[in-house]
Amino acid sequence: MALSELPKYQSISNDLRERIAQNEFSTGERLPAQHALAEEYGVTVMTLRQAIAELEAEGLVRAAKGKGTFVSEPSSVRYDLDHLSSFTQEMTHQGIDVSTDVLAIETDPTDANAVRAALAMADDVAMVALVRLRSTGGEALVLQRSVLATSLWSEISNADFASRSLYDVLGEQCGIALDRASETIRAVSLDDDAAALFGVTPGSAALESIRVSRTVDGVAFLYDRALLRGEATEIRTERSAAGMRVAFQTL
């Protein structure tokens, strides 16, 4: 099996992580023996153990003495930032059930001027904001506000956003091919309304993500502001000479 330019153990851990996400190895299943995996990847058992140790540190697998290594029950949520996908798409890929509550559809958002400027739209373009609360395991994790032009919203307003990704709906119903996005992440304090939704004290820390999504032609069409609970979220990186992986991960 060909590996990337990353250190061998990281390439292996990345590949095993992907195979687990694709349910090639399901929850509770024992992974193949270490010597068999080492032979499959063409590395030493020691290198293979480094890869397994990385997955153990993430809580993705657990070792049972004398029995082998098993795929763990999901205990945290990981949202990779090194590729472009929606929160729903990412969680579905990991086999994690996501509950989405549509809280509001704002037909005249108060920040319309700022959003039009961020999307390089004319001052007279009408805007709509879709506000959703994302939860896993009954715990609210992400408060997301997506703003787009009313003309675009009119084509997708009947979609069930409690069960479908906005990216998917825009692609399927509007033919919009999402190509890239710019994203800024910073630390903020939660106001009273957001804190109440998360069940925490007003002023509690949060991570704020501002994302502007663009089509293959470079046209900006979607402005997202997402709040993630600060005490329940961290940013993790995996660095190497060949590059870096970045992800949100719940604690």
- The string of DSSP codes covering 79-108 is EESSS---HHHHHHHTT---EEEEEEEESS
Q: What angle do CA 93, 68, 11 make, to 5 degrees?
A: 45
Q: Which DSSP state fits 200?
A: S
Q: Which of 5, 67, 4 is closest to 31 using CA atoms?
A: 67
**Residues 100-122 as b or e (16 or more Cβ within 10 Å = b):** beeeeebeebebbeebbeebebe
Q: Which residue spans within the chain are E strands per DSSP? A: 61-64, 68-71, 78-80, 99-106, 127-136, 139-149, 178-189, 205-215, 220-229, 233-240, 243-250
pLDDT (0 to 100) of residue 88: 61
Per-residue pLDDT, 22 = 79
**How far apart are the C-alpha atoms of 144 and 218, rounded to whole Å?**
23
- How far apart, in Å, are the Cα atoms of 138 and each of 82, 96, 114, 160, 198? 27, 12, 33, 20, 11
pLDDT of 90: 61
**Predicted pLDDT of residue 243:** 64
Look up the pTM and report it. 0.65
Instruction: List phi, psi (to 5°) of 47.
Output: -65, -40
Distances (CA, A) of 55 to 12, 13, 30, 51, 52: 10, 7, 14, 7, 5
pLDDT for the residue numbered 103: 96
Per-residue pLDDT of the chain (251 residues; tens, 9 = 90+): 544 567 899 899 989 988 887 779 887 889 999 999 999 999 999 999 999 998 888 778 888 888 889 887 655 555 555 555 556 656 555 556 678 999 999 998 999 999 999 999 999 999 999 999 988 777 888 899 999 999 999 999 999 998 888 888 998 899 988 888 888 888 899 999 999 999 989 999 898 989 999 988 899 999 999 998 887 776 666 666 666 566 555 55
Contact 187, 209 (CB under 8 A): no
Among all chains, which residue has been given the structure tokens 């292996």? 12
pLDDT for residue 21: 77
